[in-house]
Amino acid sequence: MTGSGQPWRAIFRREFRAYFATPLAAVFLVVFLFLAGIFTFSLGGLYERGQADLRPFFDFAPWLLLFLAPAISMRLWAEERRLGTIEVLTTLPLPLWQAVLGKFLAAWAFSVVGIVLTVPLWMTVSWLGDPDQGMIVAGYVATALMAGLFLALGGVVSALTKNQVIAFVVTVVACFLLMVSGFPVVLDFLRGWALPGVVDAVASLSILTHFTSLTRGVLDLRDIAYFIVGIATFVMATAFLIDWKKSA
């Protein structure tokens, strides 16, 4: 496993193949694509809007990922802990952070497969009109980054429990709070008693603020950095928690 000098690649390949070793992958992808179609065409009114773009899909993507990403991440470490295989994984001759990175990247790659499979939606709006292709590409990048951040956060939660249901519920709640932190109702509540700096800090943590900015076609480095730093922070936190629980 260590012959290539990059042990995380072996972990990545093993975990990514494992997603397709059971019908779970097909079920997940079918559900994701079905809901994406429903949200885009029915609830989003793609045809009724009279505008060739993927705004309906990107508007609903965060709420779709709010449940589907935790469904992927809940098994990352909770399943390993329940089966007792986490001890084997953490005693392999490779740095723990590489095992964590490999498992996270496999989950992220699997979620990106689902996102890429929505490309027929892109083809549809391109056939109907002349959409801003750059904006659509930016929207897909933002969706993939959001999925990565949700999965990284879910990895932290999954590392703390061996119960997948608990991991799923807690991750959904944590992601939801991270999403709505920039909502006016939340900020207005905070302004009643918190310092302005605290209010601004909470607002800057909102996933939707950065996601919406990217889906408008503005690839601001601050928005991209928000997701990259968030993902890196949660991945490192996962490695720390696993090491801590192993030593406890």
Q: Is the Cα dihedral 181, 187, 189, 195 positive or negative?
A: positive
Q: What is the pLDDT of residues 123-150, one digit of tens each?
A: 888 887 788 888 899 999 999 999 999 9
Could you tell me which residues come within 8 angstroms of residue 131 by beta carbon, excluding any fewer than 6 positions away?
52, 53, 54, 125
pLDDT (tens digit, 9 = 90+) per residue, 98-127? 889 999 999 999 999 999 999 988 888 888
Compute the 3-state secondary structure of the chain and give helix, strand, coil in percent, each to the nearest 5: 75, 0, 25
10 Å Cβ neighbour count for 143? 24
pLDDT more than 90, % of the chain? 37
**What pTM does this model have?**
0.88
Q: How many CB atoms lie within 10 A of CB 220?
A: 12
